[in-house]
């Protein structure tokens, strides 16, 4: 992701695609997250073998990526990226459900494991920025191929986890989803990710058009993820001091500030750096708290499906809306106005969660979630 998110849009731009075309192609990964993780999550829960399906999705993702070297037209890339995204979009939620199964009760410790993904993002984003400046955008393809190979090899080191029976196992998945708290959480998360869909797809293009080098773009991405790592390390302490709902609301409020700043302050590097530090809240604390709440709502035999549904609604639906709408907005009204408009979505998310999410006072306990 550290290679793909900052630079894939720039690669597509180098292939002479318009902002609208880039929005459509990039959003294929979000569209696939609407349904693909649910299929693989169901298989993982049904067979109680998560590692097997992580291996399968990693292998098929590797095979699918190889075709990118020969795909240059819009429709060729459309079908290659669509097939690739069906598998790569499922590896992360399967891995997260495996992690949560090993932890049993997270108490914030999930965030300290997730931190290592952030470290990988930094290494890829910074290293590739200098590589692309020194060589060309084509080096991105070879870097991603190497990562896909290494990822597949690492799946053979993953330990399987057994899921203990849970008191809520008798509930159907739909009984869980239709709870007002669950609906409010999923809608709020989708609104937050809608704004981030604009960021992930177009932030690098936006900065490049304002004269920033690829290495500087990589460093700006790295600033955000460094701050994200810091918040992941602090999450156990933060969760002992603040409720999960409070963490979610503060993260959403800071997202409104962050996206407004990106739109207004693109000419001022120091303000962009400040905006990037807020990634600690808009992704770091928000994602960690969301995963904790999802783990409470969807537990026992629904664990993998719960993480899949969270990814599908938040990153699938929300990311697709942000990616596609952001492409057309960038093309018609410009980057500054597009990022300022993106700030509206976390504002709506703040309202949805403040009014609709009513967690038990025992936030760390899943009891009472079905009242």
CA distances from 231 to 235, 251, 274, 282, 363 (A): 6, 12, 15, 11, 19
Does residue 361 belong to any structural domain of this protein? no
More confident residue, 47 or 173: 47
pLDDT at residue 360, as a whole number = 64
Confidence bin at 364 (pLDDT 50/70/90): very low
Most confident of 28-42, 172-186, 313-327, 339-353: 339-353
Contacts of 125 (CB under 8 A, 6+ apart): 2, 3, 5, 6, 218, 221, 222, 225
Does residue 162 belong to any structural domain of this protein? no
Q: What is the mean pLDDT of residues 120-124?
A: 87
Distance of CA 341 to the CA centre of its chain: 20
Does residue 304 belong to any structural domain of this protein? yes
Tell me the DSSP string of 71-136. Answer: --SHHHHHHHHHHHHHHHHHHHHHHHHHHHHHHSS-TTHHHHHHHHHHHHHHHHHHHHHHHHHHS-
| Count of domains forming the chain | 1
Residue 271 sits in which domain range?
4-157+172-356
Query: Quick check: 366 pLDDT over 70?
Result: no
> What CATH number did the domain enclosing 148 receive?
1.20.1250.20
The rounded distance, in Å, linking the Cα atoms of 39 and 57 is 12
**Is the CB of residue 282 less than 8 Å from the CB of residue 254?**
yes
Closest CA to 370 of 217, 180, 185: 180
pLDDT at residue 369, as a whole number = 39
Does residue 51 belong to any structural domain of this protein? yes
DSSP 170: G
Confidence bin at 303 (pLDDT 50/70/90): low
Q: What is the mean pLDDT of residues 61-68?
A: 88
Does residue 370 belong to any structural domain of this protein? no
**Is the CB of residue 314 less than 8 Å from the CB of residue 189?**
yes
pLDDT at residue 164, as a whole number = 57
DSSP 160: P
Does residue 28 belong to any structural domain of this protein? yes
pLDDT at residue 347, as a whole number = 97
Q: What is the mean pLDDT of residues 157-180?
A: 68
Tokens of 52: 């097997």
Tokens of 114: 């997730």
Confidence bin at 267 (pLDDT 50/70/90): very high
More confident residue, 37 or 205: 205
Confidence bin at 260 (pLDDT 50/70/90): very high
pLDDT tens for residues 140-151?
Answer: 999 999 998 998
pLDDT at residue 115, as a whole number = 81
Please name the residue that has the structure tokens 């999930």.
110
Does residue 365 belong to any structural domain of this protein? no
């Amino acid at each position: 992701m550290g290679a793909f998110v900052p630079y894939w849009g720039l690669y597509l731009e180098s292939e002479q695609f318009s902002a609208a075309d880039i929005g459509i192609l990039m959003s294929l990964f979000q569209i696939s997250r609407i349904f693909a993780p649910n299929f693989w999550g169901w298989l993982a829960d049904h067979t109680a073998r998560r590692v097997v399906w992580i291996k399968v999705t990693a292998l098929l993702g590797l095979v699918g990526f190889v075709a990118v070297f020969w795909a240059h037209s819009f429709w060729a890339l459309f079908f290659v990226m669509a097939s690739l995204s069906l598998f790569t979009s499922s590896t992360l939620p399967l891995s997260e459900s495996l992690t949560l199964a090993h932890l049993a009760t997270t108490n914030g410790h999930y965030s300290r494991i997730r931190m290592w993904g952030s470290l990988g993002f930094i290494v890829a984003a910074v290293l590739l920025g200098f590589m692309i400046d020194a060589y060309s955008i084509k080096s991105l393809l070879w870097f991603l191929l190497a990562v896909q190979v290494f990822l597949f090899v690492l799946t053979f080191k993953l330990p399987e986890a057994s899921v203990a029976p849970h008191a809520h196992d008798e509930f159907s998945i739909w009984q869980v989803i239709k709870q007002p708290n669950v609906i409010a959480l999923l809608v709020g998360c989708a609104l937050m990710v809608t704004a981030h869909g604009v960021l992930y797809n177009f932030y690098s293009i936006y900065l490049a058009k304002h004269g920033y080098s690829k290495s500087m773009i990589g460093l700006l991405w790295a600033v955000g993820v460094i701050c994200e790592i810091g918040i992941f390390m602090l999450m156990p302490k933060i969760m002992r001091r603040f409720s999960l709902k409070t963490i979610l609301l503060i993260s959403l409020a800071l997202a409104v500030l962050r996206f407004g700043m990106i739109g207004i302050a693109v000419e001022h590097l120091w303000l962009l750096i400040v905006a990037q530090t807020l990634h600690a809240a808009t992704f770091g604390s928000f994602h960690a708290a969301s995963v904790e709440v999802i783990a409470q709502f969807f537990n026992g035999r629904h664990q993998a499906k719960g993480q899949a549904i969270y990814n599908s609604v938040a990153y699938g639906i929300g990311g697709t809306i942000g990616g596609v709408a952001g492409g057309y907005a960038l093309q018609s009204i410009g980057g500054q106005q597009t990022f300022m408009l993106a700030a509206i979505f976390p504002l709506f998310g703040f309202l949805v969660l403040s009014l609709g999410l009513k967690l038990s006072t025992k936030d760390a306990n899943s009891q009472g979630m079905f009242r």
